[in-house]
Each structure stands twice: as C-alpha cells, then as structure tokens.
Amino acid sequence: MTMYSRQEAAEILGVCVNTLDKMRRDRKIGYYQARPGCAVRFSQEHIDKYLKRVEQAPKELFRKKRQ
C-alpha cells in the first residue's frame, strides 16, 4: 500500500499543507496516525476516495419552474 506524507498528499491534491490539515480536522479526508503526536500518513485509497467525493456533479441548485 502506497503511503504519502502530508506534504506529498497536499501536492497530489493541489492544496497547501495547512489546507490538508484543515480537511483532516474537518473529517473530509481519511488518514493514518499511530498515536497523537506521530506522523500523519495518507493512503492512495484516502486520496482517491476524497477525489471521487468532491468530483461528483453538483446537485441542481434551482428547480425548474413548472409550466
């Protein structure tokens, strides 16, 4: 299983490390951490799952008016 550091995962996602940390705190992306204070790692599966979720077509914002 391929594992990425915070910096590597941020580069793959095209965001800065601070943004990735916020995404992690907000539970928008999964991660591995052995215990508090240890290094945070992201798997390819975590990245793929996040990208799949955010790349879905947005729901229709406005309903079509009935004629």
Q: What is the DSSP letter of 3?
A: E
pTM for the structure as a whole: 0.76
Taking only the tens place, the pLDDT of each residue in 15-65 is 999 999 999 999 999 999 999 999 999 999 999 999 998 876 656 555 555
**Would you list the domain boundaries of the chain?**
3-54
E-strand ranges in 1-67 read 3-4, 42-43
User: Over 60: is that where the pLDDT of 2 sits?
Assistant: yes
Q: How far apart are the first and last CA of the chain?
A: 54
